[in-house]
């Protein structure tokens, strides 16, 4: 069960990191769809994908963890 949850968390982290790292026009469709399906983003009428409050919060946690890891190395 832990492995399944870890894989789910990894998937979410990848989605959010790609959202952060890719320009909106080049974001792969599977990332856009995944963010919406996971509840981390909403698609606007014009097709833009915007992070929800949950998406923003998790994205911030990931960024903080990456910064902490970088400081240790």
pLDDT in tens, the chain (73 residues): 345 446 678 899 999 999 999 988 899 999 999 999 999 999 999 988 999 999 999 888 888 888 888 898 7
- Residue 47: strand, helix, or coil: coil
Range of the domain at 29: 2-72
pLDDT digits (tens, 9 = 90+) for 12-24: 999 999 999 998 8
Residue 44: exposure state from Cβ atoms within 10 A (0-12, 13-18, ≥19): exposed
Are 44 and 22 contacting, i.e. CB atoms less than 8 angstroms apart? no
Count of structural domains, the chain: 1
Q: Angle of helix 53-72 relative to helix 2-21, nearest 10 degrees?
A: 90
How many other CB atoms sit within 10 Å of the CB of residue 11?
12
């Amino acid at each position: 069960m832990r492995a399944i949850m870890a894989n789910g968390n990894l998937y979410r982290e990848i989605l959010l990191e790609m959202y952060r790292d890719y320009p909106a026009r080049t974001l792969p469709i599977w990332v856009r769809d995944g963010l919406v399906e996971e509840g981390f983003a909403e698609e606007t009428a014009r097709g833009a994908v915007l992070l929800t409050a949950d998406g923003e919060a998790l994205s911030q946690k990931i960024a903080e963890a990456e910064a902490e890891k970088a400081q240790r190395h």
